[in-house]
Structure 1
Amino acid sequence: MQNTNVALTDPARPDRIDELVAAHKPGYGLARPFYHDQDVYARDLERVFFRHWHCIAHESVIPNAGDFELFKMANEAVILSRAADGSVHAMLNVCRHRGAEVCTKPKGNTRGFVCPYHAWTYSLDGSLRAARLMPKDFKREEHNLRKLHVRVVEGLVFISFAETPLDFSEVERLLHATAGQYGWGSAKVAYRQSYPVDSNWKLAVENYVECYHCGPAHPEYSQTHALEKPAHMIEEMNAEMEARTSALGIEVGSGNHWTNSENGKEAIHAFRYALYEGVQTGSEDGKALAPLMGRFTDYDGGVTSIHLGGTTFLVCYPDHGMIYRFVPKTADTCEMELIWLVKGEAEEGKDYDLEKLTWLWKVTTDEDKAIIEHTSRGVRSNFFVPGPIAPMEYNELRYINWYLDEISRA
């Protein structure tokens, strides 16, 4: 048996990842080293993760002044906080003196952050408030916590590690036209759950973006969501869905602005698809789960799906929403976090049943975790050779091509 993978064994060759990219066969999946090589993972972080925008939360998780939460992504820890004036800030959890973590709790409410090492004290916006026993010529303003770029759009908090972040204007416009119609700006988090996955992060994302596997792998999802069919088979259903949406006086946006970073803009693609006849929302029986949100006064039998920046994926139903976050941890591990949104005034136990609300996507994600880990173990084989991408995996093909272009772009 011939091993057709390109070996990555000589660290002295600076172009070895570029050679691996050049050896990629168009229309096929990625070769084994993309999922296990440490140098490839390091480039993933540099050119994908630290370059693009990522949704880390809905702002309702820090509703009050002084609220904070700590988010860990790859080898970075980010403090998300709300200052006294209501503004939202994100900064690295690294003291500007000796590098100790200044935030030692996962979440809470505080007036500021005090480094446990030498008691340097920082405000909620990251500014250095006090540095004990430093000389008179010490300039506090030069030693604030490292701030990250933050955008809050329709309640969603996005961060960028880049010194000069990608243009976010098209993302904002499309989020207003999509999530804005569903009332996400005034929504709240009903539940969150993280799934550790023994897999490279790209295998998890590739699984999410295609529904070729939905029929055999997700029988529960496939009973209600027409996306499990080829696109040409659901065109009529989609047209009927759009007519129902228009009849409600609502125009939910869509648009394909999936682009590489060469033009300096963030990538986003929003598209709509139908549920099967009689299905109102993403639930076990297709029936409503929670109070209608945003501009919706009735169910239109549709879903809006949003792919954003490579690691963020959103699902909008008329009565609840889903945020899917993909977080690299190591070359061989990642995390999927699911966040369920409901109307801000909705009360658990009165307006919605939490178990019913979360049932479908918990079942689906448990199945996805198993599939992804089966695949991760399989592609570890020295003799794994990627096969052709199926027609129903068109979004995966686009994602692979986008990814290869990103890691080739210094």
Structure 2
Amino acid sequence: MSGQTEEMLKTLLARRKPGFALEAPFYTDEDIFNEDMKHIFGQHWIYVAVEPDVAEPGDAIVVNIGKSSVIITRDDDDAIRAFHNVCRHRGARMIPEGKTMIGNIVCPYHSWTYGIDGALKFAEHMGEDFDPKCRGLKKVAVRSVAGLIFICLAENPPEDIEDMARVMEPYLAPHDLKNTRVAFESDLIEKGNWKLTLENNRECYHCGPNHPELTIPLFAYGFGYAPGTLDEDSQRDAQRYAELATTCHARWEGEGLPSREVEHLDDMVTGFRTERLPIDRSGESQTLDTKAACSVPLGDLKDKAIGGLSFWTQPNSWHHFMGDHIVTFAVFPLDASTTLVRTKWLVHKDAVEGVDYDLQRLTEVWQATNQQDADLVEISQQGATDPAFEAGPYSPYTEGLVEKFAAWYIGRMKAALA
């Protein structure tokens, strides 16, 4: 980072006004984007995959985060491992992005060969003094939290992921993610900065006019509202949601399903939030008729009407766990004005498409919602590049969680530059 960029960034961080959107350069400046990749995506735990992506020994998935490429695989001892996708000979990229199966990791350049434990097994013509033990693949920190796979590129990853795991595993365990499979996966390129993608996700102020599919099962009131602005019908709906949340939380907790809100979005390095939210009508699933999309329940869940467990992590994920399926979302910045959103829909591993579920019905709510969000992020990015852009105030009723994301980001960047 040049001295000029450092001074600009420190000035912007110092003058950030709580309760207001970030200034335009945070969304548009390539130098600031590079610092984001270094200090946020290079130093924090990043959600990248699910255990069903590497269900069996030899299964592998390659994920790119900025300039870094990481191989995630399951070894013969059933342990999940992660390595930099860089050959220890002359640095060639070895496996393309995506899922594959490997017996060994073989560099296509000079055939250096590594076991799925990362150890160098074969390197021809290197001489008698060459020690293969010193040329194994570089390890990447990896942690599965109830089947959600996180990696950290830092040499000293934040230790508080263990605190997050301790809280979250009881919430996630009943859905038995490890015994699911990925029924469908979608990569959507959003024409906006990654922070706009996260900010859009952290509020439902925009849901009513923009998400006609999502607001069938999902109550926007669960993310805050201004009581004085509601008409009579909306007031009744808000009251109905509040009563439903209270009774459902008590019932679910009584059934052994942790449900009440836990919120650490801006007071932990590995920030997170969770809450089991009521689903409208039947209460079963985030579908257009709110009924379960898959007839095979997850885990040992007997009650179909268990709402949707919402789980967010800083800086790049959100997830919805229901009784019949799971939807996970990962955000990967591509450049200052482009972001990849990767969505996976998971069902029980024994569920059969066309028999136990219809793929369109399973995915249609979030397919539509993702595209609607991408359109909103795009117009937000366009506005951030306009000379007339000025950071406006957040709603104290509906955008409190956006403020927590912004506060977390500002705090982590300040700590990195201190």
TM-score relative to the length of structure 2:
0.90
Equivalent residue letter for 2:157: P
2:348 corresponds to:
343
2:217 corresponds to:
224
Give the SS at the match of 2:82: strand
1:163 corresponds to:
155
Q: How has the CA–CA distance of structure 1 residues 345 and 94 changed in structure 2, closer, same or farther, with 3 Å as cutoff?
A: same
Q: List, as ranges, runs of 4+ consecutive aligned residues in structure 1 with deviation greater than 6 Å.
A: none
Equivalent residue letter for 1:315: H
Q: How has the CA–CA distance of structure 1 residues 134 and 231 changed in structure 2, closer, same or farther, with 3 Å as cutoff?
A: same
1:286 corresponds to:
290
CA contact (8 A) 2:41 2:65 kept: no
The offset of 1:249, in angstroms, is 4.6
1:63 corresponds to:
55
1:74-153 to 2 correspondence within 5 Å? Answer: 74-104=66-96, 106-153=98-145
1:244 corresponds to:
251
CA contact (8 A) 1:54 1:159 kept: yes
Structure 1 CA distance, aligned partners of 2:125 and 2:271?
Answer: 47
CA contact (8 A) 1:178 1:253 kept: no
Structure 1 CA distance, aligned partners of 2:96 and 2:319?
Answer: 30
Match of 2:338 among 315, 333, 338: 333
The offset of 1:180, in angstroms, is 0.8
Q: Give the number of aligned pairs.
A: 399
The offset of 1:48, in angstroms, is 1.0
1:180 corresponds to:
173
2:408 corresponds to:
402
1:257-336 to 2 correspondence within 5 Å? Answer: 257-260=264-267, 265-290=269-294, 291-336=296-341
Equivalent residue letter for 1:212: Y
Deviates more, 1:193-202 or 1:71-80: 71-80
Q: Deviations over 1:77-129 (max 9, x none)?
A: 11111222222211111111211112247432222122222222111122211
Structure 2 CA distance, aligned partners of 1:248 and 1:223?
Answer: 26
Alignment RMSD:
2.0
Q: How has the CA–CA distance of structure 1 residues 182 and 235 changed in structure 2, closer, same or farther, with 3 Å as cutoff?
A: same
Deviates more, 1:386-395 or 1:265-274: 265-274
CA contact (8 A) 2:48 2:149 kept: yes
Structure 2 CA distance, aligned partners of 1:106 and 1:180?
Answer: 27
Q: Deviations over 1:24-81 (max 9, x none)?
A: 2221101110011122111111211111112211111222222222212212211111
Structure 1 CA distance, aligned partners of 2:404 and 2:253?
Answer: 30
Structure 1 CA distance, aligned partners of 2:58 and 2:303?
Answer: 38
CA contact (8 A) 1:178 1:254 kept: no
1:45 corresponds to:
37
Structure 1 CA distance, aligned partners of 2:260 and 2:143?
Answer: 20
Structure 2 CA distance, aligned partners of 1:28 and 1:105?
Answer: 38
The offset of 1:294, in angstroms, is 2.6
CA contact (8 A) 2:63 2:97 kept: no
Deviates more, 1:368-377 or 1:80-89: 80-89
Match of 2:262 among 255, 278, 289: 255
Match of 1:205 among 195, 198, 209: 198
Structure 2 CA distance, aligned partners of 1:183 and 1:200?
Answer: 33
Q: Which runs of 5+ in 1 are unaligned?
A: 1-7
The offset of 1:349, in angstroms, is 1.4
Structure 2 CA distance, aligned partners of 1:339 and 1:151?
Answer: 19
CA contact (8 A) 1:227 1:274 kept: no
Structure 2 CA distance, aligned partners of 1:197 and 1:158?
Answer: 22
Give the SS at the match of 1:179: helix
Q: Which runs of 5+ in 2 are unaligned?
A: 226-237
Q: How has the CA–CA distance of structure 1 residues 254 and 345 changed in structure 2, closer, same or farther, with 3 Å as cutoff?
A: farther
TM-score relative to the length of structure 1:
0.92
Structure 2 CA distance, aligned partners of 1:319 and 1:178?
Answer: 15
Equivalent residue letter for 2:409: Y
Q: Deviations over 1:278-317 (max 9, x none)?
A: 3321001111211222342113352211111311211111
CA contact (8 A) 1:77 1:93 kept: yes
Structure 2 CA distance, aligned partners of 1:277 and 1:70?
Answer: 40
Structure 2 CA distance, aligned partners of 1:401 and 1:250?
Answer: 31
Equivalent residue letter for 1:221: L
Aligned residues with identical type, % of pairs: 30
